[in-house]
Structure 1
Amino acid sequence: MSIEIDARGLLCPLPVLRLRKVLLAQPEGGVVRLLATDPVAVIDVPHFCSEGGHQLLGSRPLEGGTTEYTVARGPETAPRPSAALPPIHPDAGKEPTA
């Protein structure tokens, strides 16, 4: 059984924020359906899934400008290494020597 989120009429970033809140309360593999009319969701939802380690199972247009997104919750993971700041070089900020 999947959970359905009705985010019709909400604009960015609210549909994805609602999806995130519900997904994080699900066990790994839990399926959530998001109904959204925000045209930017077509970009936001796949990006959110990719960055958060979730799986976008599919999307399909419905009547009235609504799109249905089906998402499976990914595993709990540590923060992605790409999100970390690069290490500071030991000589950063020092005056150059001749």
Structure 2
Amino acid sequence: MKADETLDCFGLMCPMPIFKTANKIKDIEIGKVLEIIATDEGIKKDIVSWCNTTGNELLGIEEAEEEIHVFIKRLR
């Protein structure tokens, strides 16, 4: 999946990937896609709740070896 911006959360544990996502999403334009690269398995559950709470769209979660790639579209 193609992203407009990437946020590196490799090696960070909960709640840091969500905290950093919340800050980074403010820096990108509405309609753009943010990719989060993480290693904490908790992001797969936490990002669903975060998107539901904030009104942003979860486009997908891809896993490759030890990395988790999360794609979010900013809607608000």
TM over 0.5: yes
Q: Report percent identity of matched pairs.
A: 26
Give the C-alpha shift of residue 46 in structure 1.
1.1
Find the structure with the greater CA-based Rg.
1
Q: Equivalent residue of 1:21, what SS?
A: helix
Gaps of 5+ in 1: 76-98
Contact 1:54–1:74 (CA<8 Å) still a contact in 2?
yes
Cα distance between partner residues in 2 of 1:27 and 1:7: 20
Aligned to 1:44: 46
Count of aligned positions: 74
TM-score (ref. length: structure 2) = 0.90
Contact 1:60–1:67 (CA<8 Å) still a contact in 2?
yes
Q: Which of the pair has the greater relative contact order for Cα pairs under 8 Å at 6+ separation?
A: 2
AA of the residue aligned to 2:71: T
Cα distance between partner residues in 2 of 1:25 and 1:60: 23
TM-score (ref. length: structure 1) = 0.71
Aligned to 2:60: 58
Q: Equivalent residue of 2:62, what SS?
A: strand
